[in-house]
Amino acid sequence: MRAVFSEIWGLFVEDGLLAIGLVLWVAAAALLVPLLGLGGFGGPILFAGAVLVLGASLARAARRG
């Protein structure tokens, strides 16, 4: 069972910062988009943030070699 749970965890989380970054970004978008009246751009904003988080994770991996 332990192996199954660790495999499930590994299915979604490999780079901890990528996973935390995406969760925080989605939470921030969920709060801020309606608050700032940006509903008309909500989808594209969500996408742009997710791309930036993945980009940051890749840049970090590249720096580490």
Partner 1 sequence: MTGGWAAAAPMIATFLASLVEFVEALTIVLAVGSVSGWRPALGGAGSGLAALALLAATATPILAVVPIGPLQAALGLLSLLFGTRWLRKAILRSAGRLALHDETAIFAAETAALRRSAGRVVAWTVAFKAVMIEGVEVIFIVLAVGTAGAQRLPAIAGALLALAAVLALGAALHRPLARVPENALKFVVGTMVSAYGVFWIGEGLGFFWPGGDLAILGLIAGWAGFAIVSARLLRRRAAVPA
Q: How far apart are CB 62 and partner 1 at their closest, in Å?
A: 5
Q: How far apart are CB 41 and partner 1 at their closest, in Å?
A: 7
Q: How far apart are CB 45 and partner 1 at their closest, in Å?
A: 8
What's the rounded Cα separation, in Å, for the pair 44 and 15? 24
Task: List interacting residues with partner 1 (CB under 8 A).
Answer: 3-4, 7-8, 11-15, 18-19, 22-23, 26, 29-30, 33, 39-47, 50-51, 53-55, 57-58, 61-62, 65
> Residue 44 burial (CB < 10 Å; 0-12/13-18/19+)?
exposed
What's the rounded Cα separation, in Å, for the pair 54 and 42? 19
